[in-house]
Amino acid sequence: MSLFTHRAYWRWSAGVQFARLPSTMAPLAFTLLTTATTGSYRLGGVLMSVFVAAEMVCAVPVGRLLDRVGPSRGLPALLLLTAAGYGVLTLAAANGAPSAALLVLVLLPGITGGALSGGFRTLLAETVDDELLPRATTVDAMILDGVLVGGPALVTLLDLAGPLVPLAAMAAACVAAALLVPRRAASRDRVESGPGIPPARPGAALPWLCCAFTIGLLTSTIEVAPLPLVQRLGAPETAAPVVIAVLTGASIAGSAFYAWRGKIGDPRLFLAGFVLGGLVLSANLGWPGLIASVAVIGAFGGPLVATTSVNLQRVLPKNRRSAGFSLSFTVQAAGFGLGSLAVGVLPLWLPPLLGVFAAATAGAMLVRKPARAIGTMSVTS
């Protein structure tokens, strides 16, 4: 069956995009809300920090819970709880709740929302066959680029109707995602425990977690710093969106080529692209160097995400996948946060070298055990 006629996949895709939408809306939605209600955007930043911290701390424990009940059973309940959390936060803000109360209430959607991506990624393995998985993960990465751009744009549009409307829309998106969770896997996702489940191999997932960390670390160097990157070249602030446009366009193009091939790529090749792109970005070789480095990192980023995801599934026992993928997304978010911090406190040439070092480390780990890293695809064995 072709992926593009695979109804279950597109239902899964619609569900996961709705589940992701609130997280992409949250930074701007929180900022606009607190600016309208308190006159200060700073509380919005603190709300977002608390929200992300709750997601990261609770992602793996909640993922373990999903592993126990099965993602097709657990995800709808978890999504409805997340929607309720956003709803409570909306009502509290509408009734003029104090800042301390908002900081406590924002924990509710953060605690339940951290494992959603891991649960949906686990469910993907039950939704498409093994041979479609590389193409499925790559197409999903392409759509995700659109969600990342569309989330803030949607907040800006909805804010015209009032600062509480984006929060209400975030709750509605979670409800829509709960209704779209595929049911096909319901009879297969009961988690067995016993001799049928292979034991976790210590360190088997470590190279892929390192790849996930590298993706967050190096891409944040570009996504957080387009303004200083163009100012370093003497360009005006209006040139900053060009950097993001090149990164996004290259990512979509690289993912499209990878999806067209429909095969598992060699992650060491993609990591080598990250090393090359990071070195050129750090070297400050003018506009040609900036555009070329951003394009290379973008073009190899999408395929590296897909390859990491497929190979990580290969080494995760079936009864640990939701927790394992939740850990992977948390590690990638940690890399993004560390890269963002590095941009803020280090000379501009240095943060890309941190990404280069992380990519080289991940590549070295894969070179040591190439058979485990890049063998024949068998994601459910």
Residue 45, Cβ density class (10 Å: 0-12 exposed, 13-18 middle, ≥19 buried): middle
**Residue 182 backbone phi and psi in degrees, to 5:** -60, 140
Cα dihedral sign, 313-11-56-219: positive
Cα–Cα distance, 225 to 282 (Å, whole number): 12
Cα–Cα distance, 350 to 343 (Å, whole number): 8
What is the signed CA dihedral for 55, 60, 65, 70, rounded to 10 degrees? 100
Distance, C-alpha 102 to centroid of its chain: 25
Rg, Å, the chain Cα set: 21
pTM: 0.79
User: Are the C-beta atoms of residues 30 and 51 closer than 8 Å to each other?
Assistant: yes
Structure tokens at 9: 């996949």
Structure tokens at 37: 């209600």
Structure tokens at 240: 């900053």
Cα–Cα distance, 371 to 322 (Å, whole number): 25
User: pLDDT tens track of the chain, all 381 residues?
Assistant: 677 678 889 999 999 999 999 998 988 898 888 888 877 778 888 888 889 889 989 999 999 999 999 898 999 999 999 999 999 999 999 898 898 999 999 999 999 998 999 999 999 988 888 788 888 888 888 888 888 888 888 998 999 999 999 999 999 999 999 999 987 554 444 444 333 344 445 478 899 999 999 999 999 888 888 888 998 999 888 888 899 889 989 988 988 888 777 677 789 999 999 999 999 999 999 999 999 999 999 999 989 988 998 888 888 888 888 888 889 888 988 888 888 888 888 899 999 999 999 999 999 998 765 444 444 333 322
Residue 100 makes CB contacts below 8 A (sequence gap 6+) with none
Cα–Cα distance, 342 to 159 (Å, whole number): 32
87-138 pLDDT per residue, tens: 999 999 989 889 899 999 999 999 999 899 999 999 998 888 878 888 888 8
Residue 194 makes CB contacts below 8 A (sequence gap 6+) with none
